[in-house]
Chains A and B, each alone.
Chain A
Amino acid sequence: MLRYLIQRVLVMIPTLLVISMLVFTIIQAPPGDFLETMMAEMQARGENMDQDKMEFLRKTYGLDEPVHIQYLHWMFGRWDGLEYKSGGLLFGDLGYSFEHNLPVSEVVGDRLTLTVIISLASILFVWVVSFPIAVYSATHQYSLFDYVFTFLGYIGLATPSFLIALVMLYFANIWFGTSIGGMMEPEYVGQPWSLAKVMSVFEHMWIPVLVIGLPGTAGMIRRLRANLLDELNKQYVTTGRAKGLAPMTLLLRYPLRISLNPFIADIGSLLPELISGSVIVSVVMSLPITGPMLLAALRSQDMYLAGSFLMFMAFLTVIGIFISDVLLALLDPRIRLGAGAEK
C-alpha cells in the first residue's frame, strides 16, 4: 500500500508540470496581451493611452519577453544566476493581477468563501433530490413515477441554464421583491456577518443553487439508478429477499451501500467544482464568486490571475483524483492489486 501511495504521489509531479505548461499556453493562445485588451477597451470609451506608455508598461511587467521565458518566470521565479530574486508559483508567489492592480493573492478574498458555500449547497441539493428519486425509480423500474421523476430530472439537464437564470431572477424580484442578482441585498455587501445578512444570503441563494444544481441532478439520478439496478439483480439480493428480509432493510443494508461506491470516485471532480462554481450561471446572476472573476481574467488575458487560479483548480483535481483512488484502493483490494497487474 505504501509503495502504491508513493508511486501515485511521484506521478503527480510531472502531471502538474505538464498541466502548468498547458495552462500557460492556453492563456497565451488568444491574440494580443492584457495591455492591448485594456487599450481596446479604453478606446471604445473614448479614453486614450499613449503608445509610449503602453510600451513602458509592457516592459515593466515583462510582457515583451518570449512566452517560454514568461512561463519560467511565472513558475520558477526570477533568478540572478543562482541567486533567487522574486516570484515563482513554486515559491508561493501567485503573481500579479493587471486587471485589479493587486497581487493575485489579495484579489480572490471573500469570493472563495461564498463560492464554497454556494457549491456545497448545490451539491447538497443534488444529493438530496436525486437520492430518493433514484432509489424510487430503481425499485419501481418502468413504473409511472419512474418515468415522471426521471423526466423531471432530465428537464433540468435539458434547459440552458443561463436563460432560466435570468427569467428566475426577474420573477423572484417581481413576486418576492428579491434584489436582482448577487448573493445578498446590496446593503450587506462588504459588511460583517450578521443574522440579517445570513437571511439575505438564504433569500438569494435558492435561485443559483437550483439553477446550478438541476443539470447535475439528472446525471446523478441516472448513475445511481443504474448502479442500484445492477446490484438489485444480483443473487445475494434474491437470496436475501427469499430469506424474508424486510425490503427496506435489504435495500439499505447492501445494494445501496455498494452502489454508492462510484460516488467516491467523484470526489476528484468535486474539489475543483467547490471553488470554481458554475461560471456561466454566476456571470448571468452576477454572483460574487470566483467563476466570473476567472472568466474576466481569461478574457482580458490577466494571465497571472487566470493562470494561478487554473493551476489551483488543477492541483485540487489531481489531489481529488488521488484521494478517491486511495479511498477506492482502501475499500477494494482488487483495484490496489489491479494497478500492479496491468502489465
Chain B
Amino acid sequence: MKRMLLQALVATTLMLSSSAAFAAEAGSYVSPAYFAKDEAAGELPPVTERLPENPAVASMNDLGHQGGELRMLMASPKDSRILTAYSYSRLVGYDRDYKIVPDLLESFDVEEGRIFTLHLRKGHKWSNGKAFTTEDFRFWWEDMANNTELMPAGPPKTMMVDGQAPKFEVIDDTTVRYSWQKPNTEFLPALAAAGPLYIYAPSKYLKKFHAKYADAAELEAAVKDSGQPSWGALLNRRGNLYRNDNPKLPTLDPWVLRIKPPADRLVFVRNPYYHRVDTQGQQLPYLDQVVFDVTESKLIPAKAGAGETDLQARYIRFDNYTFLKQAEKKGRFSLHLWDDSRGSNFALYPNLNCNDEAWRAVNRDVRFRRALSLGIDRHEINQAIYYGLGKEGANTIQALSPLFKPHYQKAWSSYDASTANRLLDEMGLTARDDDGFRLLPDGRRMTIIIDTAGESTEESDILELIKDTWREIGIDMFVKPSQREVFRDRVFAGDSIMSVFFGVDNGLPTADMSPQEFAPFTQQQLMWPKWGQYLETGGMNGTEIDMPEAKKLEGLLMDWRASPDTAGRTAIWGDMLQLWSEQVYSIGTVANIPQPVVVAKGMHNIPDKGIWSWEPGAHFGLYKPDTFWQDTAKELSPVESRLQ
C-alpha cells in the first residue's frame, strides 16, 4: 500500500517553483477570456500589470486551459471558509513532500530558527487591485495584534516564545523581519496550516474600520449600522480572511467571494490579480468560478450520486462508497478512494484526570491501558465495518510520515486476551463477580462508562464490537451518548472515565511540524484535560502534571520548540512517539479509512490516489485546486459583478 502510494505521488508530482528563467518571458502572459470585456472597457489593467513582477509558476504534467466552473456541495453558508483551505494560498505552504516552500512570498530566510526574513513579490496586488506590501504586515502587527481593543489577550500564542513577542522590522516595501530571542519552530507551520495564522491584513480596506485611522463619527455610524457592539468587533467581523464571508474584503486567494452570505449558493469568481501562472504563462486559476451549493449534509451523498457536484469528498463517508459506486455506472463521475491520514479513525481516551479515585488509579496504570488495547479485536472491526480496507493499530502517526516506525503502530494493538488477562491479574484486579466481571479494589464491578458525542453510527458500532471482546477480559462497558458540548464538559470536568473521539489529527507529521498532540498542551486533549488546562492557563486552573511519563512528554515538547534544526527535532519526535506508544495514552482502533472522492468526468489534475488530510494538506489544498481544469468549460453561474 505504502509503495503504491508513493509511486502515485511521484507519478503525479507537481512542483511549484519560482523559476527565474521564466521571468524573462514576462509580457507573454495569457489573461483569461473571462476578463476580456473588463479589460477592453478599461476597468481592469492588462494582465502584465496585474501579476507581480515575478509571478509564481506552477508546473504540472497536464497543462490545461482557462474557463469553466466547479460546483461543490456544502452544508452551511459558513463553509465558505472551506474554500480558503482548498485555495491554499499561503505565505509559505507545504509541497507534496510536506516541505515548506514559499508561495505568496517570493522567498524567506531563517537564521538560527529565530530570525525570519520574509520577501514579498514586487507588484503583488490584492484582489481589489491595491498593492500587497509590508504595510499590510505592519498594520496587522501594530494596529491589530497589539491593539488591546481588538485582541485583548495580545498577539496569537504562536507569535509568542516564552511570553516574548518578536522584534518586528519593516526593511523595505517588500521585506519584513521577525526576530525572537529563542527559536520559534511553530511559526512557519502555523503560516502553512489549513487554517493559517494570518500575519497580514488588507490595511487599505480595514483602516476604514479602525479607530486609529477612521473618522470617529463615520465609524460610530458604521458600528451602529452593523449591529456590532464595538468597532473592534466590526473590524474582526469585516476582516476575517479565514472565514471568507465578506465579499468586500480583498483577498490573495485564487477565487473571490461574490455573493453576500448567508446564501444557499455561494459563487466565487477568479481573482484578476492572482499571483500564479502555468508554464505557458496562462494566469491561474484555470477555473473561472467556484460554486458552493448549500444543502443538508445528509443529502450530500445522494446529490453526489445524482451527479450534482463536480468535486466532492467533504460530507461523504466511507459507507457511502457502495452507493456511489453504483451511481458511478451512470457515467457522470468517477469515484476514487483517497487515504485518510488521521492517526486512528476513532480512539478511546482513558481520562487520567477523572474524578473517580478508583478509576483514576486504574486508568493511570499503564498495564490497564495496555490490557484494554490488547482486548480489542481490531481485525473484526476492520472486517465488519471497513471491509478490511483500514489499517489496524494504535492511535499514532501513519506509515507515510517520514517519522514512522512500524512498531509505533503495532505496539499493544494485536488481539491477545490472554496477555491482557495476565496484565490485569498482575495489577491485582483478580476478584470477579457472579457474571465473571472483574471488580475494582473498592468492590464495584469494572463497568467502564464510555462517553461519546454519539454522532455517527460507526462510532457506536465500533464500541459494540469492543464491548464483546472486553467481556473476555472481564471488563464491562456501557456507552453514554450525549450532545457534543455536554460530552466535552463531562470530560473536561473529570466526570467521564473514558471517552471515544477521533484519533490523532495529524497522522503525517514531518519533524518540523509540532508534536503537540502527543504531549499535554491544551484542555482539548481528552486523556489529560486538566493538565492541558493547567498549561494553557499558566497554572490558574486545572492541575499540575503528576505522572513522570507525561511530564517527560511535556518537557520534550518544550525541547522541540527550542530546537533550532531538523535533526534535533527528528530525535525529539522519535523519543515522544516511542514514549507515546509504550504508554498507550489513547487506544487506537482502525486507521487509514479510505475517503471516497467524487470527481466529475472531464476534470483534470485531480489525482486518482491522494491523501485526505486537513492538517497538513488542507484537504484538496495540497493538490492545488487552481490547477484543476475542465475539458469542456461548464456554463457560468451569473454574478452581479466580476470585479470588486
Contact = CB atoms under 8 A, between A and B. Distances in A.
Given A31-B485, A46-B615, A286-B299, A60 B262 contact: no
Contacts of B195: 47-48
Nearest to B614: A46
Contact of A60 (B233, B243, B298, B302): B233
Given A31-B486, A45-B614, A179 B227 contact: no
Interface string A23-66: 00000001110001100110111111011110110001110000
B308 interface: yes
Interface in B238-278: 243, 245, 259, 261-265, 267
A284 B502 contact: no
Interface stretch (A96-104, A263-271, A314-322): A96-104
Contacts of B308: 179-180, 186
Chain B: interface secondary structure?
loop
A283 interface: yes
A75 B139 CA distance: 39
A33 B227 CA distance: 20
A288 interface: yes
Contacts of B522: 48
A198 B404 CA distance: 58
A117 interface: no
A283 B194 CA distance: 30
A179 B484 contact: no
A149 interface: no
Contacts of B382: none
B134 to A, nearest CB: 26
Contacts of B486: 31-32
A56 B150 CA distance: 9
B488 A292 contact: no
B296 interface: yes
A226 B601 CA distance: 59
B331 interface: no
- Chain A's interface size range is 35 or more
A283 B224 contact: no
A170 B484 contact: no
A190 B262 contact: no
Given A44-B502, A48-B524, A179-B306, A190 B230 contact: no
Given A43-B524, A51-B523, A186-B293, A170 B536 contact: no
B485 A180 contact: no
B230 A60 contact: yes
Given A45-B614, A100-B261, A103-B227, A189 B293 contact: yes
A284 B638 CA distance: 28
Interface in B481-532: 483-489, 502, 505, 522-524
B485 A181 contact: no
A190 B259 contact: yes
A317 B263 CA distance: 28
A102 B194 CA distance: 25
Interface residues of B, number: 57
A233 interface: no
A43 B529 CA distance: 14
A190 B263 contact: yes
A30 B485 CA distance: 9
B418 interface: no
Query: Which of B226, B233, B485 has the most A CB atoms < 10 Å from its CB?
Result: B485
B537 interface: yes
A100 B262 contact: yes
A286 B522 CA distance: 37
B574 interface: no
Query: Which of A101, A102, A190, A284 has the most B CB atoms < 10 Å from its CB?
Result: A101
Interface string B626-644: 0000000000011000000
A52 B293 contact: no
A249 interface: no
A105 B537 CA distance: 38
B484 to A, nearest CB: 4
A286 B302 CA distance: 12
Contacts of A170: 302
B414 interface: no
A203 B622 CA distance: 40
A224 interface: no
B317 interface: no
Contacts of A186: 71, 265, 291, 293, 308
B237 interface: yes
Contacts of B299: 169, 180-181, 284-286
B153 A173 contact: no
Contacts of A44: 453, 484, 502
B226 A103 contact: yes
Nearest to A286: B296
A31 B303 contact: no
A182 B299 CA distance: 10
B153 A52 contact: yes
B485 A40 contact: yes
B303 A180 contact: yes
A50 B157 contact: yes
A284 B264 contact: no
Contacts of B537: 51
B322 to A, nearest CB: 15
B295 interface: yes
A159 interface: no
A35 to B, nearest CB: 10
Contacts of B615: 46
Interface string A54-88: 01100011100000000000000000000000100
Given A32-B485, A103-B226, 5 more contacts: A44-B453, A46-B194, A47-B194, A186-B265, A190-B263
10 contacts: A30-B485, A32-B486, A40-B488, A46-B614, A47-B194, A53-B153, A56-B153, A62-B229, A181-B296, A182-B295
Ordered nearest first, which 4 A-B pairs have the shortest CB separation?
Answer: A52-B153, A286-B296, A103-B227, A189-B265
